[in-house]
């Protein structure tokens, strides 16, 4: 694991342990001529890039996530799903897990990258989600989108998503 991955994991562990956004407003009081003056320091909203991928095969299904902060801190997540899914369901699960992690980290602006043409097309309304399970996933994504100041979902070629793909494939083989 690289140094930035370790720092990212430490950051993720701290966020998970304390449950607070590291970027919340900070207020200080200063005494000036016996008057209390409050100052508020607002930091720029946390903007993250997230690469997601899902995988399903005979061994199981899993998701892979690569979260990159503006400081290029990289958080990698490989998660085995405890139930059988289709590949498309695993792709949706990866997207939903990524969105949830960004929210828990205090992210307000996110660019999500996926190589699933179907998922991107259904979420963007370019493709119809005919299956009731796919419709439910689209609804969950749309609901989570509302919690972000800025949300972008982009399709990328598989060749540009190999890191998340490897993590998803790893999750399918772990018990």
| pLDDT given for residue 104 in this prediction | 92
| pLDDT given for residue 56 in this prediction | 94
| Closest by Cα among 68, 111, 61, 130 to 89 | 61
| Domain 47-173, CATH among 3.40.50.2300, 3.40.140.80, 3.30.420.10, 3.40.50.720 | 3.30.420.10
pLDDT, mean of residues 150-162: 95
Token pair listed for 41: 């320091």
96-110: buried (b, 16+ CB within 10 Å) or exposed (e) per residue? bbbbebbeebbbbbb
pLDDT, mean of residues 137-162: 95
> Domain segments of the chain: what residues?
47-173
Q: What percent of the chain has pLDDT over 90?
A: 64
What is the pTM assigned to this prediction? 0.74
């Amino acid at each position: 694991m690289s140094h930035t991955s370790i720092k990212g994991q430490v950051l993720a562990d701290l966020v998970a342990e304390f449950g607070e956004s590291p970027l919340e407003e900070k207020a200080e009081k200063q005494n000036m001529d016996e008057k209390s003056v409050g100052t508020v320091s607002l930091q720029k909203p946390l903007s993250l890039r997230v690469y997601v991928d899902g995988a399903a095969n005979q061994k199981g299904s899993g998701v892979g996530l690569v979260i990159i902060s503006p400081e290029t801190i990289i958080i990698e997540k490989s998660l085995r799903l405890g139930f059988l899914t289709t590949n498309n369901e695993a792709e949706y699960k990866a997207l939903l897990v990524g969105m949830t992690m960004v929210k828990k980290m205090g992210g307000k602006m996110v660019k999500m990258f996926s190589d699933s043409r179907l998922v991107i097309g259904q979420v963007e309304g370019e493709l119809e989600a005919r299956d009731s399970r796919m419709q439910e996933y689209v609804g969950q994504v749309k609901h989570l989108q509302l919690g972000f100041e800025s949300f972008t979902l982009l399709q990328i070629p598989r060749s540009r998503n190999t890191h998340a793909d490897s993590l998803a494939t790893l999750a399918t083989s772990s018990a």
